[in-house]
Amino acid sequence: MSAPLQFMPRRTSKASLEEMAAITPILAQLRFSDDDIVRLLSVNTPGGLEALRQAAYDLTTAEVGNKVFYRGIVELSNICVLDCYYCGIRKSNRDIERYSLTKDEVIETALWCAEAGYGSCVLQSGERRDKRFVDFVEDCVRKIKTRSVSETLPQGLGITLSLGEQRLETYQRWHAAGATRYLLRIETTNRELFRKIHPEKQSIETRLQALDDLKSAGFQVGTGVMIGLPGQTLEDLAADIRFFEGRDIDMIGMGPYLMSQGGAMRTEGMLEKHKLMPLALKMIAVTRLVLRDVNIASTTALQALEHDGRERGISFGANVTMPNITPRAVRKNYQLYDNKPCTDEDTEDCRSCLEKRVVSAGREVGWNEWGDSRHFGRRQSGSI
Ligand code: 5AD
Ligand code: FES
């Protein structure tokens, strides 16, 4: 089994050969110590990176198959009650125009996604917890669910939510309405770092409680972190992977930390691209090796960093991608970070462009499939 993307130069240097020899026994393991994880994350030769990529790619094929699943992402509003310092749509950024799609716009966009064969959608938004918003989402989910049932999608469109910290009762209502997956990133598991990038009143404990609540509400639970945050170490990233493992997480969405003009961390800069891209890819690969049967997304932030970032993510072990299907008129207002790609393209352009990206990474698209996390299936059946 091999992916067509190759990052090895024609002549393999001595350093590459030595690193390949050092990591080959680690790559053959089924379980990894903290030191092993840090060693793999610190790979720094083309040969070492390629050996890691190949191992992660092959394990992906063996554990979750050859398909990449789409989740069309609808960014339904950029109104947000939070003030995360890294984020371009945080509450205190007065320089963006705030928008909210209407119920009809959300439903029509999701139905477009069902017709395009995407199989699943993600409803994402800035965070709101008021009754009007909770009712709005519940109604959107219910209507998308019933109206998307067709011959090709007999169970309707798969619905993932990415709507932040909510009360258990809200999660239960949204789950009962028909959403089955939920993404809520922990952002970093290093408590000190979490404190530094969020205002005082946003706590890691509340986030952890929300992840517990999501599980008890019956969701397939997704989380993830930002990679390359100022002050973050490889040990922190290794601890993040351990956290995903310890919490029995079903889905992972991680991406590089990118500076945002609308954020409050501009003075701290960001990791240079030539270091950040391989680090993000290594994080995907090592997460695959440790967690094995989970779904891992190749995120938009990877493509913001490098034009072929998404296919690289796929070739390093990701098996999900999330095309942006937000109506074009408002897309530019959902700038979580600078240079977000696909803000000008039409949804149709993204459709063909993304399929090329998936195929170029040696995979096929799982058209009209939900592509649920195999890990969740096993968790439900009690086989793990
Ligand atoms: N760089 C990278 N990712 C970001 N996010 C928000 N701001 C940034 C940024 N500057 C991510 C967060 C959040 C998700 C919706 O977007 O991880 O959970
Ligand atoms: Fe949007 Fe390629 S993914 S244009």
Closest ligand 2 atom to residue 341 Cα is: 1
User: Ligand 2 pocket test: which of 75, 307, 350 has the largest number of ligand atoms within 8 Å of its C-beta?
Assistant: 350
CB atoms within 10 A of CB 201: 8
Does ligand 1 lie within 6 Å of residue 241's CB atom?
no
Q: Output the CA torsion sign for 381, 173, 188, 286.
A: positive
Does ligand 1 lie within 6 Å of residue 89's CB atom?
no
CA-closest residue to ligand 2 atom 3? 350
pTM: 0.95
C-alpha distances out from residue 215 to 61, 169, 360, Å: 27, 13, 35
Domain ranges in the chain? 67-381
Strands 120-125 and 158-162: parallel
Ligand 2: lining residues by beta carbon, under 6 Å: 323, 342, 345, 349-350, 353-354
User: Ligand 1 pocket test: which of 73, 86, 165 has the largest number of ligand atoms within 8 Å of its C-beta?
Assistant: 86
Q: What is the CATH number of domain 67-381?
A: 3.20.20.70
Per-position pLDDT tens, the chain of length 384: 445 445 555 678 999 999 999 999 999 999 999 999 999 999 999 999 999 999 999 999 999 999 999 999 999 999 999 999 999 999 999 999 999 999 999 999 999 999 999 999 999 999 999 999 999 999 999 999 999 999 999 999 999 999 999 999 999 999 999 999 999 999 999 999 999 999 999 999 999 999 999 999 999 999 999 999 999 999 999 999 999 999 999 999 999 999 999 999 999 999 999 999 999 999 999 999 999 999 999 999 999 999 899 999 999 999 999 989 999 889 999 989 988 887 776 666 777 788 888 999 999 999 999 999 999 998 888 876
Q: Which residue has the tokens 């351990």?
A: 242
pLDDT tens profile 88-145:
999 999 999 999 999 999 999 999 999 999 999 999 999 999 999 999 999 999 999 9
